[in-house]
Structure 1
Amino acid sequence: MSIDMVNAEDGGRTVEVAIEYITRLEHELAATRAELCRKDDQVKSLSKLVDLFRITWRSCYKYSRELEGQLAPLLNPRTRQEMLPYTVYS
């Protein structure tokens, strides 16, 4: 059935409805595509935050281990007594 036949049969209403439906689908598709792009950007941002957290966590862990190594002599009571004469008080 051609478009001319449809127009002749129902005054063009079928074609009009089909065009409206296709237009609405195009708008929904564009909105869905935009939403997916936003979600993709959010996922990328979240992934960057997770990576930043991992880097920060590793740095803090490494620093705490270094600090623990430096403070270990101060936490040992015997070493602390040996260091007392060299402690500077302000």
Structure 2
Amino acid sequence: MLTVAVTGTTRAQGGAAARSLLAAGWTADLAAMFAYFTASGLDVDVAALHRDFPEVGRHGFPDWAHAQDRTAILTPGPMPEAARH
């Protein structure tokens, strides 16, 4: 498991994070994404999104989780190719 701190870092630290992830076998795209999070962070103003886009429906995590098809997740079988990378 990798933990990436997203606050109080510099761009140089973000670059170092990307190099570490690439060395660990991560894809360049994924390494770049986490390097960005490390160097710049990511904030979302949920209240502003609700205010500015009231027409977009929203749901909380519990509602989303309840609606998922658990049989697809829990059924034994081969791992899909996309999940192997």
User: Into which bin does the TM-score normalised by the smaller protein fall?
Assistant: under 0.3
Report the structure, 1 or 2, having the larger helix content.
Answer: 1
For normalisation by structure 2, the TM-score amounts to: 0.21
For normalisation by structure 1, the TM-score amounts to: 0.20
Larger radius of gyration: 1
Q: Which has the higher contact order (CA 8 A, sep 6+)?
A: 2
